[in-house]
Copies of this chain bind each other. A is one copy, B any other.
């Protein structure tokens, strides 16, 4: 080996990669480069950045595999073009404002020993439901939810058509909206905090389904959301809670279903070994750092939770090409 193994240094200094990508997304460098080859001086001029700053940033993005450099000009690599160029339908750049939000970074980096020692953290529970952060997060999560929401709706559309749909912790509302689009008869009830529901409502309006979109403001564990739903969906919800809390909410869900109603969830489901696939497995660490008892639940854990809530079990199916799965709770 020519030089020290990079693995340990890379890990020590990994936070630099988040910083570089944050700057690149906020200055929209990948959109400016597009399919071309652009010098760092030209990028600096277009973004009102210093030449020196832009050169060092672009070189760093090159070492990260997001750019290539030839004759002093930078081009975007395939994943960068697909996911970080705003003109790409698969753009997810905005989600860095959620994944690398300053509050999240602080929760994860300020005192890692503490959440390992205590088995979790209070997370952002101290922030009130009307704190602007929740709306910001719901917005930032929108680009990454698009594909998963469409895929979930496509899968569910092959089954019987629901008339009443409940979207628990709807956030941006995309899951309910895609279901409303897939089932032209369906009326969707979206539950979330009031400030976040404004975003869901605006998105429903933008998708032309607002007439079949109802809002219920409140805590998903307590609010009266009605009953007799044909389909209830919990997207990116269960990973925040302990198995007991998951069973509690699933009991509420079960008792809110119509006789032929179905319940499902969308989540990161790692393999039973808990260390693969990487993205799904690594998600557990985020939940350790930012929640008191959340986790990335495996198929067998979801099955157990489902049984504790009175379902017959749970089955997870990958929502390819996203890293998430659709989980069906069997009645």
Interface of A with B (CB < 8 Å)? 1-23, 26-27, 47-57, 59-60, 62-66, 69, 79-80, 82-84, 92, 95-96, 99-100, 102, 105, 108-110, 112-113, 115-120, 273-279, 281-282, 284-289, 293, 295, 318, 320-323
- Stoichiometry, as copies per complex, reads 2
Q: Nearest-CB distance from A38 to chain B (Å)?
A: 15
**Among candidates B4, B6, B14, B119, residue contacting A50 with C-beta atoms closer than 8 Å:** B119
Q: Verify B13–A286 contact, CB threshold 8 A.
A: yes
Q: What chain B residues lie within 8 Å of A69 (beta carbons)?
A: 273-275
Q: Verify A277–B21 contact, CB threshold 8 A.
A: no
Name 5 interchain pairs, CB-CB below 8 A, sorted by A.
A4-B83, A14-B21, A26-B113, A52-B288, A54-B116
**Among candidates B7, B27, B65, B120, residue contacting A7 with C-beta atoms closer than 8 Å:** B65
Q: What chain B residues lie within 8 Å of A27 (beta carbons)?
A: 113, 116
The interface centre, meaning the residue of A14, A80, A96, A116 with most chain B CB atoms within 10 A of its CB, is A116
Q: What chain B residues lie within 8 Å of A64 (beta carbons)?
A: 7, 11
Q: Verify A52–B120 contact, CB threshold 8 A.
A: yes
- The complex places the Cα of A148 from the Cα of B285 at a distance, in Å, of 35
Q: Verify B108–A16 contact, CB threshold 8 A.
A: yes
Q: What chain B residues lie within 8 Å of A274 (beta carbons)?
A: 55, 59, 69
Q: Verify A14–B14 contact, CB threshold 8 A.
A: yes
The closest CB in chain B to the CB of A23 belongs to B112
Q: Verify A50–B118 contact, CB threshold 8 A.
A: yes
Q: Verify B62–A322 contact, CB threshold 8 A.
A: no
Q: Verify A18–B23 contact, CB threshold 8 A.
A: no
Q: What chain B residues lie within 8 Å of A13 (beta carbons)?
A: 18, 99-100, 282, 286
Q: Verify A119–B322 contact, CB threshold 8 A.
A: no
Q: Verify A14–B17 contact, CB threshold 8 A.
A: yes
Q: What chain B residues lie within 8 Å of A109 (beta carbons)?
A: 15, 18-19, 22, 100, 102, 105, 109
Q: What chain B residues lie within 8 Å of A51 (beta carbons)?
A: 119
Q: What chain B residues lie within 8 Å of A278 (beta carbons)?
A: 6, 63
Q: What chain B residues lie within 8 Å of A279 (beta carbons)?
A: 3-4, 6, 9
Q: What chain B residues lie within 8 Å of A4 (beta carbons)?
A: 83, 279, 321-323
Q: Verify B275–A62 contact, CB threshold 8 A.
A: yes
Q: Nearest-CB distance from A94 to chain B (Å)?
A: 11
Q: Verify B12–A323 contact, CB threshold 8 A.
A: no
Q: Verify B288–A117 contact, CB threshold 8 A.
A: no
**Among candidates B26, B100, B112, residue contacting A19 with C-beta atoms closer than 8 Å:** B112
The closest CB in chain B to the CB of A93 belongs to B8
